Amino acid sequence: MRERMSEMETNAPVELTRGGATSDVGSAFEPAFYKLGELAEVPLREGVAARFVAGGRMMLSFVHLAPGAEMPLHDHPHEQLGYMLEGSMLLTIGEEERLLRPGDAYAIPGGVKHRAVGGPEGGLALDVFAPPREEYLALAKQGNH
């Protein structure tokens, strides 16, 4: 077990490939507590905004979709796990589409195309990305200045 922990603690260079990722950031961040309502809301596109909490190798993204707002079909090398907190959204992963409500979860490997549309009442989803989405962190930094 200790040998495996040593492997996990090493800081390998960032490498993104379809279905996998490693990060050189490691645990180089300060421990902290956050209140969601006090995190800066970062607009991602019309009707879609997010609040972020980032560690060294993963990040939380609390994504609010207004009713009918769309994150168009896209992919990225990051792994993405998600959980529907409030409201609903129509999520397409690859060729499969589902209406998600609170309590529903999803997993999207890197490189897989996906899209989301806010339900009639809008929705709040918690996404977890590994490694962190660099472009989202950059947007969050711009919003905090």
**32-42: average pLDDT:** 95
- Which residue would you say has higher pLDDT here, 44 or 14? 44
- Per-residue pLDDT at 29: 81
- What is the per-residue pLDDT across 98-129, written as a single tens digit (0 to 9) for each? 999 999 999 999 999 999 999 999 999 999 99
Domains parsed from the chain with CATH numbers: 35-143 (2.60.120.10)
Query: What pTM does this model have?
Result: 0.80
Pick from 124, 67, 130: which is nearest to 100 by CA?
Answer: 124
Residue 73: pLDDT over 90:
yes
